[in-house]
Structure formats: structure tokens, C-alpha cells
A and B are shown apart, each in its own frame.
Chain A
Amino acid sequence: MSNHVLQKKATREAFGDEIVRLGKQNKNIYVVDIDIGKSCKTVKFAKELPNQHVNVGIAEQNGAGLAAGLATTGKIPFVSTYAVFGSLRMAEQVRQEICYPNLNVKIACSHGGLTPANDGGSHQSIEDMGVLRTFPNMTVIMGADYYSTKKLIEQAANIYGPVYLRFTRDTVPMIYDENEAFIIGKAKKLKDGKDIAIVANGDTVHLALAAAEQLEEEGVTVKLLDMHTIKPIDREAVIDCLSVGKIITIEDHNILNGLGSAVCEIVAEEGVGQVRRIGVQDQFGQSAPYEKLLELNGITVENIVKTAKGMLKEEFLHERNGHNV
């Protein structure tokens, strides 16, 4: 883990940097832009690798279909747009022409979650990971910071099949140093403890980390996972949390069908454990500072700490009641 916790960078920058590096290594790597290359950080790729770059204009559906056609010839296209469009405007094209034939297309989206904060509710993408999680063959990923996102992009390019990668528009603190290794589908364990487990992803991992440190100061030990891949989710890592028994999930996504839901599915199937989901409260956002939007949804360090204490208190009450009976 990095010592430069205060340094911040948007994870879309990681895409802009990494895709140029990958494109130079492998001429089959293509970027399909949908006009917004400047804000998706693909301008450098377009300039340096014009023969591997396509810009379809403001036409997401064609962008997805064209990428599928490219993939049938052995190319590895990264379709680059905003999360709300990449997951919804072209959802059916991604299903029919990319996931159904299991083609090697990556959907790389900036402006994930509430991070396009001042753009307002129309541009904040709170359903994307949930929607794409239900498409067979699709892998769904959100890195927590700049370096982890870079590593996950590299991995996505190297595995066969459709991958959805989600980046932040706004800056998030750097958590990892550049030598940290990541494997798609394997959660990164940031802390180990036995009182409470916290499972976070994307831009909420640093909040979870701060909350865990606060809890530790108060004597509560925390198991903390960065669940960068929500599909295929690291089932073993979630089951490992069941030894702790109490799990809090945190995500910059609707609490319906995202990370929290994915964890709940496993917990319910295992039949033990308790989960509290922190995330967007099934409501649209609005133009506001990013921190304000997080606060409106309880995606804060304070709320994580409060939720953890609440769960621990419940256990205490439960045990006491148990003794009384």
C-alpha cells in the first residue's frame, strides 16, 4: 500500500495512460470512441495510434456493433464512453452482439457512479454494474484507484471475452503503489480482523479504509476487502467473511443489484451471516459536489463506522437476550 494516501487521481486517467501502453504493445488493441474522447482520456491513443483508433461519432449503438465486427477479425476493441451510455444506451447491442456470441470486446467507461457529480442525475451512472452483471459471459470491474485500475485494464486486455470496466470522472485517493498485483475475480484483502468485515469497491474503498482505521482505534478489528471484480465475484473471499459473520458492503452504485446484492446472494445461499448495504439509496442524483451526493446516500466514513457499531451492538444485545432466555 502506498504511503502517498493524500495524492489523488481520477481512474479515467489510468485508462488513458494504460491503453496507449497496451496499444503500442499489441496492434490488435483498438479504441472505439463515441465522440467524447477528450473526457474519456483517449486523445493520446488517437494521436499516437491512429490506425487502431475509430471514432463513430455520437452513435453508441453503432459503436458497440462495430466493435463486435472488429472482434470477429481478431481485434481487441475497447469501446470508450460514459458509464451511463456504455451500460444503458447500448445495452442491447452489448447483449446481442458482444455477450451472446462471447466476443472479445471491452467496454471501458468513465463517469462511473456519482462521480460526474456536477453533471447531474442524467449523467450519474448508478445502475450500470448491476445491469451488466446479469449478461452472461460479461465480467464487471471497478478499480479503487489509479494503479489498481491500470493493472485491471491490462488484465482485461489479456483475458478473452467481454469485460465492463468502470472509471471515475472525479479524483480519488491513491491507495496502492504501482507494483501491487491484481487478479480479475480475486478480491484484494486490505485488512484482516474478526469483529466486522467490510467489502467495498471503486471509489468507496478509500472511505472503507478510513472507517476501518477509525474502528481499529476503538478496538474493533476489521477484515477489509477491495472487491474490484463484482462478476465473477470472489465467492471464497465472501465466504471467508462469514467467519466474521457481520458484513458491510459499500459501493458508489444503487444498493439494488450491485456489489451489495452480489454479496447478499452468497451470504443467503450459505445461510449464515448478516449484511448491511451502504450505497446509493435507490434514488437519482442531482448536480452537487461529489461529497455532498455521497453524504445524501450515507456513503461516508461516519456512516460506515456507525453501521459497524450498530451491528456489533446488535450482537451484544442478541447475546444478552439469549442469556436472559
Chain B
Amino acid sequence: MINEKGIVKSFIAFDDALFLKIFDKEFKLTKDFMVLYLTYKYTCYTRIQIYNKEVIVVEESIVATLEKKAIELRKTALIMIYKAQSGHPGGSLSAADVIAALYFKEMNIDPKNPQWENRDRFVLSKGHVCPILYSALVLKEYVPYETVYTLRQYGSPFQGHPDMKKCPGVDISTGSLGQGLSCAVGMALAGKRDEKSYRVFSMIGDGECQEGQIWEAAQCAVKYQLDNLVVFVDDNGLQIDGTTEEVMPNQDLEQKFKSFGFDTRRINGHSMEEIVNTLESIREVKNGKPTCIVCNTAKGRGVSFMENVVDWHGAAPKEEEYFLAMEELERGLN
């Protein structure tokens, strides 16, 4: 009945409430049927189902767990944008899977101690897609859940673009394209100089790669041999005025980063299996080279009518669209 792997340390039934003690944390479960996701970095992902006060431990694959997380992130981002009637759904949805893999598996972070100096850093250089980052911060409990209803409102930690002074868990303020990667390089360089073990992850957009500063930062990351830096390119092929092909062709971004001296990969940015395996394969690599993972993605991914539609770059869904979108995402959960 209790997990044979020893994750569940004790189990107490008390009237209508169940108490699960897992490691040192006590969970109070007040319904007869509950599902609790437990995510443990590098170990196992276990779902505990409780049927009528009986605990059943169901093993679930890492990938399946993260896929569900990604859907939760997408839903949460849409709730925010719908409530605010403002924000950037397209790029939030294309970035969701990578963000899920980073925040719920790969990154070594402690939401209770957002300033922990040996934490892994995340720099969202394409800062306008912050709703998806905020969703991860909400689900990781950096901020209370209610914060989702305050996006872009006065006094909210969830500013229109990420603000490190207002929101715990935001490692640097971003929003002006092309600039975040330089900050990530600075963080990674400090880590190297101080012989710290943390890593720095950054996500940039494909349209953002039209900014010259991206390449200034790239050459610098290579010069200083920042193998503690991982750059994701969310290559969704769209920007405000149209396709990147029409507006300003990027050529092959993987080849560009490779020629700058990065270790590069090109993956399907919506295949959780590929994302997880790629992160797994680079985790211990110490070859003096920064890594760039170019992710083939679709703007608006997960909501059929938003997918690959340029107008969803910065538009909020109306009521009908919102419920349709949530329904579609919900279907993905079951």
C-alpha cells in the first residue's frame, strides 16, 4: 500500500483527512479521491492516488508527467492573458514545453529561497512571453496562485515584461529584445570565475536573433568557454509583421551558432521526450563550449486556432475563444 521505494514515509488516517508525510513535508488530503503529483529531480515521478483512504502508488514516466505540466502551464498562461485581456499568447505557448522541462525537472532551484546563490538561473530573453514563465513560478509556488489574476495590473509581481525587482524567481528583468542573452553570459561567467556549480539557461526567440547583440553575446560565451550556459532558441518562425522568412530571414540558426563555436542541437521543441533526452545528454558535458538547442516550435502550440497564426502574437482571447482554448488543452490532459 505504501510506496515500496520509500518515498512515502508515513501514512495517517484521521477522520476525513489523510495526512501523507513525504520526506519532511506533510500533505493534508481532505477528499476521498485525490491525485498528487510528486516530482523528484533525477529520480522518479510518482503519482499517488487515494481511493477511499487507500493509497495506491502509480509510477508515471517523467515524460508523461512533464507533458501534463506543460499543458497546465499553457492553461495557466491563458487564464492570465484572458483575465488581463492583454499579453502574448503565441510565443508563450510555443515555449511551454521547454519551460516545463526546465522548471519541473532540469533546474536546480529552491522556490523557498529564490536568491539562493548556487541556484540555476533562467533568463527569458524573449521577455514578452512572460505569462508562460509566470505560470511556472506560480506552479512552483514562488508566488501565490491568485497572482495569475493580476497580470499587467498595478502593483502586480506579474508586470507586462519580467521585473526582477517585483517578482521572486525572475533572475533578471527583460523585455527589450536581444539583451537577455548578454546578462545570461554575465551570470555564467561569474559562476565560472567563482567555481560555482550552477548553470544558466536562457531562451531567445528566432525573431530576436535579428538583433546584433545576440551575436555579440554569443561570441563572448564562446571566448569565455561557458559550458555552464545553455541557450534555447524558440524557433517558431513568426514575428509581429509576418514570418521571419518574410521579415528578415535568419538562415539556419543552428549553423550560425555552430559557426560561432557553440555545441548545437536541433530538436522538436514540442517533443517532451526529445527535450528531456537532450537535456540529459548535455548535463554532464564539460567541454568548454556553450550549448545552443534550436527548438522547432509552432507559435500558439496546443490551441488549434492559435497555432501558426501570426495575429496571436500579442492578442488576448475573447470569452468564446478562451473557453474553446481551455477545453482543447483540457482534452490533452486526459
Residues of A within 8 A of B319 (CB): none
Residues of A within 8 A of B178 (CB): 61
Q: Given that A75-B190, A101-B164 are known contacts, is A66 also in contact with B220, CB under 8 Å in the complex?
A: yes
- What are the residues of chain A within 8 A of B194 when measuring CB–CB? 73
**Interface on chain B toward A: helix, strand, loop, or mixed SS?**
helix
* Known A96-B176, A101-B172; contact A70-B182, beta-carbon cutoff 8 A: no
Inter-chain contact A62/B176, CB cutoff 8 Å: no
B189 to chain A, nearest CB (A): 7
* B87 cross-chain contacts in A, Cβ below 8 A: none
| Neighbouring B residues of A92 by C-beta, 8 Å | 176, 179
Whether the pair A62, B182 counts as a contact (CB closer than 8 A) is yes
B172/A97 in contact, CB under 8 A: yes
Option from B182, B188, B220 in Cβ contact (under 8 Å) with A93: B182
Q: A66-B183, A72-B187 known; A61 and B213 CB under 8 Å? A: yes
Asked whether any CB of chain A lies closer than 8 Å to the CB of B280, the reply is: no
Q: For A93, give the chain B residue with the smallest CB separation.
A: B179
Write the B54-82 contact mask toward A (1 if CB under 8 angstroms, else 0).
00000000000000000000000000000
Q: Are A64 and B182 CB-contacts (below 8 A) given A100-B173, A101-B163, A101-B172? A: yes
B175 within 8 A of A: yes
Give the residues from 176 to 207 in chain B that come closer than 8 angstroms, CB to CB, to chain A. Answer: 176, 178-191, 193-194
- The answer to whether B175 and A69 touch across the interface, beta carbons within 8 angstroms, is no
**In the assembly, what is the distance between CA of A67 and CA of B123, in Å?**
15
B217 within 8 A of A: yes
Question: With A59-B220, A72-B171, A102-B165 in contact, do A96 and B179 touch (Cβ < 8 Å)?
Answer: yes
Tell me the smallest distance from the CB of A28 to a CB of chain B, in Å: 10
Q: Is the CB of B217 within 8 A of A65?
A: yes
Binds B, one of A49-57, A197-205, A307-315: A49-57
A73 and B187 CA atoms in complex are apart in Å by 7
A51–B189 touching, CB < 8 Å: no
Chain A residue contacts of B121, Cβ below 8 A: 72
B274 at interface (Cβ–Cβ under 8 A)? Answer: no
Contacts of A56 in B (CB 8 A): 216, 220
* CB-defined contacts of A96 to chain B, threshold 8 Å: 173-176, 179
Please determine whether B185 and A69 come into contact, CB atoms closer than 8 angstroms: yes
CB of B172 within 8 A of CB of A70, answer no
Chain B, interface residues (CB within 8 Å), range: 35 or more
* Contact residues in A for B183 (Cβ distance below 8 Å): 65-66, 68-69, 72, 97
Closest A residue by C-beta to B181? A65
Which chain A residues numbered 23 to 78 have a C-beta less than 8 Å away from chain B? 51-52, 54, 56-57, 59, 61-62, 64-75, 77
Closest to A55 in B: B223
Q: Looking across the interface, which residue of chain B has its beta carbon closest to that of A95?
A: B176
Chain A min CB distance to B181 (Å): 8
A70 contacts B220, CB within 8 Å? no
Indicate the member of A62, A101, A102 with the most B CB atoms within 10 Å. A62
Complex contact B172–A68 (CB within 8 A): yes
User: In the assembled complex, which residues on chain A have CB atoms less than 8 Å from the CB atom of B216?
Assistant: 56-57, 59, 61-62
Instruction: Check if B250 is an interface residue, CB within 8 A of chain A.
Output: no
B271 at the interface (CB under 8 A from A): no
In the complex, chain B residues 144-180 whose Cβ is within 8 Å of any chain A Cβ: 163-165, 171-176, 178-180
* Given contacts A62-B185, A101-B172, A51 and B179 within 8 Å (CB-CB): no
Give the interface centre of B172, B212, B224 by most chain A CB atoms within 10 Å.
Answer: B172
Q: A68-B186, A96-B179 are in contact. Are A73 and B172 (CB under 8 A)?
A: no
Which residues does chain A contribute within 8 Å of B217, judged by CB atoms?
62, 65-66
Cα–Cα distance between A68 and B185 once the two chains are bound (Å):
10
Chain B proximity mask over A191-213: 1 for CB below 8 Å, otherwise 0: 00000000000000000000000
**Inter-subunit contact B172/A66 (CB<8 Å):** no
B219 at the interface (CB under 8 A from A): yes
Contact of A72 with B186 at beta-carbon distance under 8 Å, contacts A57-B219, A93-B179, A96-B176 already known = yes
Assess whether A61 is in contact with B179, with CB atoms less than 8 Å apart.
yes
Q: How far apart are the CA atoms of A66 and B200 in the complex, in Å?
A: 13
B141 within 8 A of A: no
> Is B220 a contact partner of A51 (Cβ separation < 8 A)?
no
Q: B116-128 interface mask toward A, CB cutoff 8 Å, 1 = contact, 0 = none?
A: 0100010100000
Which of A59, A66, A97 interacts with B189 by CB under 8 Å? A66
B173/A97 in contact, CB under 8 A:
yes
Distance between Cα atoms of A222 and B188 in the complex (Å): 54
- Check A101/B187 contact, CB under 8 A, given A56-B216, A57-B219: no
CB contact under 8 A between A54 and B176, given known A68-B182, A68-B183, A101-B163: no
Chain B residues closer than 8 Å to A57, beta-carbon distance: 216, 219-220, 223
Is the beta-carbon distance between B186 and A70 smaller than 8 angstroms?
yes
* Complex interface: chain A residues within 8 A of B224 (CB): 54
By a CB distance below 8 angstroms, the chain B residues around A62 are: 182, 185, 213, 216-217, 220
Across-interface contacts of A67 in B (CB, < 8 A) = 186
- Measured CB to CB, the nearest residue on chain B to A54 is B189
Q: Which of B175, B182, B187, B194 has the most CB of A within 10 A?
A: B182
The 4 closest A-B pairs by CB, nearest first: A69-B186, A65-B182, A62-B216, A59-B216
Q: A66-B185, A101-B172 are in contact. List 16 more A-B contacts (CB 8 A).
A: A56-B216, A56-B220, A57-B216, A62-B182, A62-B217, A65-B181, A66-B182, A72-B164, A72-B171, A72-B183, A72-B187, A96-B175, A101-B164, A101-B165, A101-B173, A102-B165
Q: Can you report 17 residue pairs joining A to B where beta carbons are below 8 Å apart?
A: A57-B216, A61-B182, A62-B182, A62-B216, A66-B182, A66-B183, A66-B217, A70-B186, A70-B190, A72-B183, A72-B187, A73-B117, A73-B194, A74-B190, A75-B190, A93-B179, A97-B172
